[in-house]
Chain A
Amino acid sequence: MSASEAAVLSLYNEDEYRGQTLWQLALLRLRRDYLTLIALAVILLLALLALLAPAISDALGVNYRRTDLQNTFAGIGSPGHPLGTDDLGRDHLSRLLYGARVSLGIGFSAALVSLVVGTTVGVVAGFYQGTRLGFIDDLIMWFVITLNSVPSLFLLLIISAMLSPTVFTLILILALLSWTSTMRFVRGETLSHRGREYIVAAHAIGAGTPRIMFLHILPNIFSVLAINLASDIGGFILVESALSFLNLGVRPPTPSWGNMLINAQTFYTMGVHLVILPGLMIVITVLCLFLIGDGMRDAFDPQASKKIA
């Protein structure tokens, strides 16, 4: 038995923790999960740095958009540019920070939009499955299965190429092509909830369908959804970076960690830091988000953690 499991088990034995809500218990477990806490701290630090990007650039006297063709491919630690400059002489550190804004912002927003869409559609589909209005569920499932049969990167590439998206439309495209897994999950949960006594009771006192869907069922499956948010954000950051790397996501000169790597193959001999650093930022960010996701799952469902860990 690992130390964290012992901690979790001890929680159950101590009387003082009895009668706590799911969220309170999860918070207690999370407080002892140092790996998740460290990951959370790293993400918060990155978010803070991203927010402060303009201030930091000003303090260093650099601008992420100012090109300087006299000083291209400066190495790490060169005067005035702590992380060197890129192929156009732009300061690499400030571009990484502004890239963090774009990448984190897109990841977070897309995850949120996809969560909202997936949840709404999932609750509706699950609620009507097998009832008089079952065709609604059939129709939705047909669409979802169809969408899942086309590798999403293909659709993303084609739609991005057609629309030349701004950051805002890119968020929508990313979210609208990837809500299906959330939807399937919510649909399953709704199916298991809709037959329970509290829903029957809600029907009995005359609650309307939308009220039952979104005020009775939804709050009960919400915690399970919140758990996946962190890993979803990580997934979206990965997809966005790949899309931007293929020059079909965030368009230069707006920096994103993905599009800073577009010309990476030509940088091999001139500036290795231009290849390594943006990728490293993606890896660190996504890794921390995945770790937070794992930690949340353990905190909310100790049974699952015992099985997998």
Chain B
Amino acid sequence: MSQFILRRLIQAIPTLFGITVLTYAIIVAAPGDPVSTLTFGPRTTKAQRVAMAAQLGTNDPVYKQYIRWLIGNDWQKFPKVDGRGNPVLDSNGEQIMERGTQKGILRGDFGTSFVTKRPALELIVEKFPATAELGGLSLAVGVILGVSIGVLAAVQRGGVFDNLTRVMAVIFSAVPVFWLGLTLLLIFGSWLGWLPMGGRYPTNYFLTGEVTLADRIEHLILPVAVLSTGWIAILSRFMRASTLDVLSQDYVRTAQAKGLAYHQIWFVHAARNALIPIATILGPAIPGIIGGALITETIFSWPGVGRTTYSAVLTQDYPVIMCAVIMVSLTTIIGYLLSDILYALIDPRIRLS
């Protein structure tokens, strides 16, 4: 097993490398360059611009800049310039050189946000608990409801419940996440006034600093409902097909023959084996769910990674965008890895191939 995990970890390295290249390509392609942004002003002379470019290292070829972005530039020396871009000279008229200050993303330095002037990594990491709370809860609700619906639909194949849930699953896969969110907000927030219109904590939290469990649940209901419908729709269809497969197996007939109660056959004997293929779709579903979470977080003003990324995109805050892309991709890769390991744990045949 440990060999399997090790092999999968090694396989993830080229992917991680690819993600950093892709992310770096995005800022290289982005309009505008740091020098013209920093020296935007009528009084900047050409000499100042040249000195600034030398200090920032933007004259170097792209691959060198990429390597510096990865491992930092504190091992290199750059000409020192003052705030206006004039070269700083020592008493002999020589250019003063100084070490770079970036540590590089491999050491967790994603740069500073253009907007808030705080470290980008800090901005993203502090949003992870909120996203994890929403995503984890939605996943739990989705798996529990999806699996139960799938099993019940399979055992009553062709019945009213089966047909009803089939229709519902198709309809809900056709509903845009953002519109579902808007409509639920309209009904439960605006018309009925039962649930808050978004946010993670009540508005007076920022004054009192107090939040009760009931408050938090109240704020979670709508976003979790929106985010879990996708899971329920996918998982119930998948679970139904895989349960049908299992129900035709001999050991289920044996269980019936020895007189076990039906609920025991369905949920203990059949569902356990029917769950195996579910592990395979959990991994690939993760990127889609994170994408859905971005929209859900935006609509419900949920202070998570997705909403932070969206506002960073709108303000062109590149350090934060790059940090978010890399962290979210890392989460996705870990998700794939976990789902593979889960699958290998459940089904020993996988490890051997």
- Picked from B182, B185, B241, B294, the residue with its CB within 8 Å of the CB of A154 is B294
Proximity string of chain B (295-310) to chain A, C-beta cutoff 8 Å, 1 when within and 0 when not? 1001100000000011
17 A-B pairs besides A149-B333, A265-B299 with CB distance below 8 A are: A143-B18, A145-B15, A146-B19, A146-B22, A150-B329, A151-B294, A153-B295, A155-B325, A158-B26, A161-B314, A238-B176, A241-B178, A242-B176, A245-B176, A276-B183, A282-B179, A291-B170
B125 within 8 A of A: no
Within 8 A of B (CB), among A223-265: 234, 238, 241-242, 245-246, 248, 258, 261, 264-265
B50 within 8 A of A: no
CB distance from B3 to the nearest CB of A (A): 21
How far, in whole Å, are A261 and B183 apart by their CA atoms in the complex? 11
Interface 9-mer from B84-92, B206-214, B285-293: B285-293
CB distance from A3 to the nearest CB of B (A): 11
B328 within 8 A of A: yes
Please list the residues of chain B having a beta carbon within 8 angstroms of any beta carbon in chain A: 14-15, 18-19, 21-22, 26, 29-31, 158, 170-171, 173-179, 182-183, 185-186, 190, 237, 241, 244-245, 284, 287-288, 290-292, 294-295, 298-299, 309-310, 313-314, 316, 321, 324-325, 328-329, 332-333, 336
Closest chain A residue to B191 by CB distance? Answer: A268
A221 within 8 A of B: no
A152 within 8 A of B: yes
Residues of A within 8 A of B182 (CB): 261, 264-265, 275, 279
A307 within 8 A of B: yes
Residues of B within 8 A of A143 (CB): 18
Is there contact, CB below 8 Å, between A152 and B178? no
Closest chain B residue to A240 by CB distance? Answer: B176
Is there contact, CB below 8 Å, between B183 and A150? no
Residues of B within 8 A of A60 (CB): none
Closest chain B residue to A154 by CB distance? Answer: B325
Within 8 A of B (CB), among A131-188: 142-143, 145-155, 157-159, 161-162
How far, in whole Å, are A150 and B18 apart by their CA atoms in the complex? 10
How far, in whole Å, are A150 and B25 apart by their CA atoms in the complex? 14
CB distance from B242 to the nearest CB of A (A): 10
Residues of B within 8 A of A155 (CB): 325
A2 within 8 A of B: yes
- Picked from B29, B176, B244, B336, the residue with its CB within 8 Å of the CB of A149 is B336
A199 within 8 A of B: no
A308 within 8 A of B: yes
A116 within 8 A of B: no
User: Would you list 26 pairs from A and B whose C-beta atoms are within 8 A, ordered by A residue?
Assistant: A150-B328, A150-B332, A151-B288, A153-B295, A154-B290, A154-B328, A158-B26, A162-B30, A234-B174, A242-B176, A246-B178, A246-B310, A261-B178, A265-B182, A268-B185, A268-B190, A279-B179, A283-B171, A286-B175, A289-B174, A290-B170, A290-B173, A290-B174, A307-B244, A308-B237, A308-B241
Is there contact, CB below 8 Å, between A283 and B291? no
Overall SS of chain B's interface: helix
Residues of B within 8 A of A307 (CB): 241, 244-245
- Picked from B183, B288, B292, the residue with its CB within 8 Å of the CB of A275 is B183
Q: Given A307-B241, A308-B241, A242 and B287 touching (CB < 8 A)?
A: no
- Picked from A162, A238, A264, A289, the residue with its CB within 8 Å of the CB of B31 is A162
A269 within 8 A of B: yes
Is there contact, CB below 8 Å, between B29 and A162? yes
Is there contact, CB below 8 Å, between B176 and A146? no
Is there contact, CB below 8 Å, between A158 and B313? yes
- Picked from B26, B30, B173, B328, the residue with its CB within 8 Å of the CB of A151 is B328
Residues of A within 8 A of B190 (CB): 268-269
Closest chain A residue to B31 by CB distance? Answer: A162
How far, in whole Å, are A265 and B173 apart by their CA atoms in the complex? 23
How far, in whole Å, are A264 and B181 apart by their CA atoms in the complex? 11
A76 within 8 A of B: no
Closest chain A residue to B288 by CB distance? Answer: A151
CB distance from A285 to the nearest CB of B (A): 8
A287 within 8 A of B: yes
How far, in whole Å, are A19 and B288 apart by their CA atoms in the complex? 43
Residues of A within 8 A of B14 (CB): 142
How far, in whole Å, are A275 and B191 apart by their CA atoms in the complex? 13
- Picked from A159, A246, A248, A261, the residue with its CB within 8 Å of the CB of B26 is A159
Is there contact, CB below 8 Å, between A149 and B332? yes
Q: Given A148-B287, A150-B332, A287 and B171 touching (CB < 8 A)?
A: yes
CB distance from B124 to the nearest CB of A (A): 12
How far, in whole Å, are A289 and B170 apart by their CA atoms in the complex? 11
Q: Given A149-B329, A290-B170, A154 and B324 touching (CB < 8 A)?
A: yes
Q: Given A149-B333, A161-B316, A265-B185, A283 and B175 touching (CB < 8 A)?
A: yes
How far, in whole Å, are A286 and B175 apart by their CA atoms in the complex? 8
Is there contact, CB below 8 Å, between A146 and B170? no
A272 within 8 A of B: yes
- Picked from B158, B179, B183, B291, the residue with its CB within 8 Å of the CB of A153 is B291
Q: Given A148-B287, A149-B336, A162-B31, A275 and B174 touching (CB < 8 A)?
A: no
